[in-house]
Amino acid sequence: MTDRIHTVPTEPFDGQKPGTSGLRKKTRVFMQPRYVEAFTQSIFDAIGGVAGKTLVLGGDGRYFNDRAAQVILRMAAANGAARMIVGQGALLSTPAASNLIRRRGADGGIILSASHNPGGEDEDFGMKFNGPNGGPASETVTDAIFERTRTIREYRIMDAQDVDLSRLGEVRLGDTVVEVVDPVADYADLMAQLFDFAAIRSMFARGFAMRFDAMHAVTGPYARELLENRLGAAPGTVVNATPLPDFGGGHPDPNPVWASDLVDLMMGPNAPDFAAASDGDGDRNMILGRGIYVTPSDSLAVLAANATHAPGYARGLAGVARSMPTSRAADRVAAALGIEAYETPTGWKFFGNLLDAGRVTLCGEESAGTGSDHVREKDGLWAVLLWLNILAARDQPVDAIMTDHWARFGRDFYSRHDYEAVPTERANALIDRLRGMLEFLPGQKFGELTVAQADDFSYVDPVDGSVSQRQGIRVLFTDDSRVVFRLSGTGTEGATLRVYLERHAGPHADHAQDPDQALGPVIAAAEAVAQIREHTGRDRPDVTT
């Protein structure tokens, strides 16, 4: 078989630096000759080669997913991989891939996705490597991958026909076994172990109605199997259920802007009891009740406060972790439960050490990602199923659950303002200016608010002692309001400035006021502190969530 393996000369490509969620670029960038090959070989080399190893492979079905998968398979065979476990049709949601890596004892996996970014020939594509624990590669590994991309001079690939990924079973590429598996089955079985499916089925049988918008992304088949087939939700509960290469021309990001039809339904007169949506690769979620949108920060807090209703969490939680920009609502729940609360940088990989060490059970990010120790990725459908379990156990609608929660813990009014595709130099100038002001901000007044303290968030991992610096500018005011400024690494053009706004109202305050009104003083202070209009040229954010 060695005569079918070729060593192909190549040159390094600029900018193949994996971010918090792998390498994301425009699809046409990935489609360049040798681009996928160079990055794939860099992954293989950085992890010490793949000879004799087992890897998982799959993606969210976006444009170029199928072609990239075939290239990776031929390269894995040329590099001596023992087994490649691939989702049928090259499909695997990100949490399902994490579960498959863990369940099969694989040495890692490659996930083809740009998550919530739009898909298509003129849109976005991505690749990332997950380690043997099923979680995103550590910074040590991603740094090693990047260093290899800068020096690579050749890659190995097998000359072979495409593998038929539509058929389940095993085939061989040289000495490598390619095992095509049902992408849904193992994941659905795991969910059945965690949640009280009988109670949820009974709730649906009593007339409970919901809508799940899969946004023409990867979770359509998962949601149909779980919600309609196993739990008895009415046929048609799952909409936009067929994964499409361009996500139907939509933006597969489950938030009130990109899933506005679902929000309009839930705020209208004919709303079902519950609604949810997930993103491109299935790791994010949006939760709505009749007449109410639940922010991701509040969702994490409610799940933490009620997790013991689900059999998989009946013994209680070891702790809760949240990303720094996420509201502190989960911290208040942890304090009441007497468990640890951790604040980490943005990026799911930072939760991995805490989960592996058994320090936390639930974790979440304000950007619609929530998960637990069942896998090492955020998990959109998991969050939806836990909400359904809680609704079945408490026999209350979503708005009543939220009202009870705020009456006990208070409400953290919260919003995120995104300024997208800001010229990089302007975005960097805004952040650099803020960094230079930090020591002088305490005591200064901006509108109604006075700064109590300000810093550039730095994180020391309590498990391995690693340090992550410059993770976002935090400005805390004397009334316990907070604003965070951070540049996001998930876009593919310019920079996205994210401004996170938070104001706490105690248990006996007015929790029914409009969030924009409650946050008004914080929004004004954020503009005054950062001079957002001057730096971005925008008088309003592109997206508000």
Structure tokens at 497: 């400035």
Task: Provide the residue count of the chain.
Answer: 545
Q: Would you call 202 a catalytic residue per the annotation? A: no
522 vs 324: CA distance, rounded Å: 17
Describe the chain by its helix, strand, coil percentages, rounded to 5: 35, 25, 40
Q: Which of 62, 57, 60 is nearest to 74 (CA)?
A: 57
Beta bridge partners of 455: 474
Instruction: Output DSSP code: residue 382.
Output: H
Backbone angles phi, psi at 24, to 5 degrees: -125, 130
Q: Which of 492, 497, 365 is nearest to 432 (CA)?
A: 497
Structure tokens at 128: 């990332």
CA 73 to chain centre: 26
The 3-state secondary structure of 91-156 reads ECCHHHHHHHHHHHCCCCEEEECCCCCCCCCCCEEEEEEECCCCCECCHHHHHHHHHHHCCCCEEE
Q: Which of 487, 325, 334 is nearest to 409 (CA)?
A: 334
| Residue 424, number of CB atoms within 10 A of its CB | 12
DSSP-based three-state secondary structure for 289: strand
Nearest-Å Rg of the Cα atoms of the chain is: 23
Catalytic residue chosen out of the listed positions 115, 278, 327, 367? 115
The 3-state secondary structure of 228-244 reads HHHCCCCCCCEECCCCC
Torsion of CA 490, 492, 493, 499, to 10 degrees: -10
Output the CA torsion sign for 300, 305, 306, 308: positive
Active site residues: 115
